[in-house]
Structure 1
Amino acid sequence: MSLLVNQRLPRVGGETSKPKHVAGGVPFSKEQLRDIFKRFDCDKDGRLSKEELKKAFSELGSRVPAFRTLAALHHADENGDGFISEEELEALLQYALGLGYTIKME
């Protein structure tokens, strides 16, 4: 499982692919999503900024990561500071699970 979260998946021809949001794929587990979001905490301050969220949603395959970021903040940023803290991560994960992101190997 951690292979899917911590590195890109090999594809025939030596190229790499990243997880995509597609119908019929294997859904990400809550733990996989947690690992992905934590990986995008680039400055390691224990919270996710708008830019870090945008990059994470892009990695998940969102076609409009900026919109997903704003929607995620609306759903999960309980104190309204513009960040997703460790305490707010559970709400973010529930939101992301509801979007149905799936793993696709190309």
Structure 2
Amino acid sequence: MAELLVRLGSYGLGLTWKARLFDDEPHPAFARMTKASVDTGIPTLELLAMDAPYLQAVDGDFEGYAGGEPILTLREFDSSSWDVRTADAWVLSEIRRHYPDARPMTSDEWDATN
């Protein structure tokens, strides 16, 4: 997750995040992250500090909010791949620039990875 957020630069710094993991028994660090993000969310820098670099989420959504509205979802679904969902054209262009093998997904594909 940190790698993706770094690629987004200052865009991601103004977001707050809500974490949702689909693991019945997540690592304690991710359980704390999920619990801390329930109400108002976690600011980006705090989220990055909670996300230990040696841990990988498996089957989790990290939703970025601006002004209370969800604008970006990062979904890790197999501990090594990420899906990105946003309507922001700049974010999409940055993802494609840094990850040339990225491709658009249909809504059905997105729903199937959940």
Higher strand share: 2
Is TM > 0.5 for Structure 1 vs Structure 2?
Answer: no
TM-score (norm 1): 0.32
Greater relative contact order structure (CA < 8 Å, 6+ sep): 1
TM-score (norm 2): 0.31
